[in-house]
């Protein structure tokens, strides 16, 4: 069974703080993703990575960066958190690059920026 | 890039009735269309998917249909039960060379006992 683990389920951070959200998958998947989920907006892609040290921007990359130093780990970084980044963040992975791949999600990280 | 629209945003049905959720997509090169169910406080989980060489797929009480010409696909849930209450997301794998899924905005289904 595929397991995608997000280290923090609930975080409260102050405006201007640097925030790290960590994600680990245990199935040797090539692709990893970070989505943001907001009511009425669905799931929006922030960044994805198809290989170690590779990254590509999604639909809403502004204010975020990512790091993929190891295949199993994909980190989302908020360099200077702002209140409009209060949201639920979902990490996901899929086996291969390209289409026809099932994406598996982590449990989500609820971030509140005050 | 791909644009996926999903309707309705909310849907209430009586237990035992059927529920239908519809999605349209913009990129004719998209070829994989999964549906995810997200229960309150939990992760989205794949419930069924369909690929572009198939027009319909069924798994017990759920089915998905795909019309490639019209670029729309639908989720059908029959004999709904209270545990079907959740948010459902459609998605489309975007086009040639694309490497990610594009999601609809979700439908909150409530099954009334």
Pair B11, B75: CB distance under 8 Å: no
User: Residue B96's pLDDT is what?
Assistant: 55
pLDDT per residue over B28-85, tens digit each? 888 889 999 999 989 999 999 998 777 999 999 999 999 999 999 999 999 999 999 9
Displacement of CA A85 from its chain's centroid (Å): 13
CB contact under 8 A, B99 and A103: no
pLDDT per residue over A56-111, tens digit each? 998 899 999 999 999 999 999 999 999 999 999 999 998 876 656 788 999 999 99
Pair A66, A49: CB distance under 8 Å: yes
Give chain A positions within 8 Å (CB) of B31: 99-100
Q: Using only the alpha carbons of chain A, give its radius of gyration.
A: 13
> Which H helix or E strand runs over A76?
strand A73-78
Give chain A positions within 8 Å (CB) of B10: none
Place B94 in a pLDDT band, splitting at 50, 70 and 90. Answer: low
What would the DSSP string read from start to end of B39-56? -TTS--EEEEEEETT-SE
CB contact under 8 A, A100 and B34: no
Q: Closest Cα partner for A34 from A3, A69, A68, A79? A: A68
Out of B32, B49, B100, whose CB is closest to A58?
B100
């Amino acid at each position: 069974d595929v397991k995608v683990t997000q280290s923090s389920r609930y975080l409260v951070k102050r405006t201007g703080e640097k925030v790290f959200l960590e994600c680990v998958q245990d199935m040797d998947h090539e692709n990893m993703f970070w989505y943001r989920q907001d009511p009425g907006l669905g799931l929006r892609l922030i960044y994805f990575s198809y290989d170690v040290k590779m990254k590509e921007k999604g639909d809403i990359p502004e204010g975020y960066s990512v790091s993929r130093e190891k295949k199993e780990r994909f980190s989302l970084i908020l360099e200077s958190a702002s209140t409009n980044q209060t949201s639920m963040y979902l990490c996901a992975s899929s086996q291969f690059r390209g289409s026809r791949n099932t994406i598996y999600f982590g449990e989500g990280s609820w971030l509140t920026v005050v | 890039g791909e644009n996926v629209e999903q309707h309705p945003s909310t849907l209430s049905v009586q237990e035992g009735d059927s529920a239908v959720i519809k999605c349209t997509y913009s990129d004719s090169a998209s070829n994989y269309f999964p549906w995810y169910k997200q229960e309150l406080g939990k992760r989205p989980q794949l419930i069924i998917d369909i690929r572009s060489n198939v027009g319909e797929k069924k798994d017990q009480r759920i089915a998905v249909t795909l019309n490639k010409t019209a670029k729309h696909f639908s989720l059908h849930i029959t004999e709904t039960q209270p545990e079907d209450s959740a948010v459902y997301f459609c998605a489309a794998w975007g086009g040639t060379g694309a490497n990610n899924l594009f999601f609809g905005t979700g439908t909150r289904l409530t099954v009334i006992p």
